[in-house]
Amino acid sequence: MDGVRIERLLRRDQHDQAVELQKAYWGDDAGNLVPAHMLHSIARYGGHILGAYVGDDLVGCVIGFIGADSDIDERNARPAMANLLLMSKRMLVLPAYRGQNIGFRLKMAQRDIALKQAIRLVCWTVDPMLAPNAHLNIRKLGGVIQRFSANYFELDEPNSLRADRLFVDWWVTHRRVKERAKGRASAVTLQQYFDVNAPIVNRADARHDWLRPRRMTDVPSSTFALVEIPADFIALESSQRRLANDWRYHIRDVFSKMFAAGYIVTDFVSDQFEGCRRSFYLLSHHFDDEYRKN
């Protein structure tokens, strides 16, 4: 989109803008907002808040800070400096500006910061049910996923299902990410995955107004496999909350089994299938060892 500029938010008035922007998605609940005083500290001590502006209006932002993939209480934990990463805590773009490549530009600006800080890994968590987010994080950015957590934020019922998360690993110096930075996203079609014998392990029932989950088949022995989610889960959840919850329980089971079997999410594809648009995670077995944690 023309007329958008990306810049670091360093001033208090910009941090106030970022708080107001968060309210567009999370409302006024203080427990869900990163407050201005915290943004101030993040911006000055190794972290960053990047904003997307149209004129004087802040229409998107991403927040990140330096972290370490280690537990200080582990007996054989390595020093933090050996496990440095950037944790991307949150990114949002106003609804009127979505679909205009702003999220991609914010993440690429975040990648530039990681490279300047000589940090190879950027991590964040995502809701597994949101196809547009998966398209950006995996297909456009080149992230990979090898971990899942049920109720990651330890919320009480009935909100625990909505706290399920996948963990995105974005290796910013890897060749696949370099290609994405040049605008060369994956162009592999659903049919091409079928052509290499990638099975759909949870092929949905499409005979109704909304897709319905079917019990997962056995974990395959194939190099590739496809995991289906609804193409528009937000609309499904608004219309059929019970069915949406069924999907969340279903995906919990599917990803837990697939990751335990050694699969990694390496692509995401939305395409026409059986007369309607369908969305699938592509999982790979025996993928690049650089993505596998010891």
pLDDT tens track for 136-161: 999 999 999 999 999 999 988 888 99
Q: Give me the mean pLDDT over the 280-286 stretch.
A: 93
pLDDT of residue 291: 58
Higher pLDDT, 77 or 34: 34
Q: Enumerate the domain spans of the chain.
A: 4-181, 190-291
Averaged confidence pLDDT in the chain: 93
User: What digits encode the pLDDT tens for the residues 170-229?
Assistant: 999 999 999 999 999 889 999 999 999 999 999 999 988 999 999 998 899 999 999 999
* CB under 8 A, 24+ apart: contacts of 271-278: 271/189, 271/190, 271/191, 272/190, 273/190, 274/206, 275/206, 276/206, 276/231, 277/231, 278/190, 278/204, 278/206, 278/211, 278/228, 278/231
The whole-angstrom separation of Cα 285 and Cα 259 is 10
pLDDT of residue 294: 38
- 184 — phi, psi (to 5°)? -105, 75
SS3 222: coil
Rounded to two decimals, the pTM is 0.94
Helix residue ranges, H only, the chain: 12-26, 36-44, 102-116, 131-134, 175-181, 190-195, 233-239, 241-260
Tell me the pLDDT band of 29, cut-offs 50, 70 and 90.
Answer: confident
Above 60 in pLDDT, residue 293?
A: no
Superfamily of chain region 4-181: Gcn5-related N-acetyltransferase (GNAT) (3.40.630.30)
Q: Give me the mean pLDDT over the 245-253 stretch.
A: 97
8 A C-beta contact, residue 82 and residue 40? no
Q: Give me the mean pLDDT over the 78-93 stretch.
A: 89
8 A C-beta contact, residue 59 and residue 105? no
Nearest Cα residue to 1 out of 94, 103, 102, 109: 102
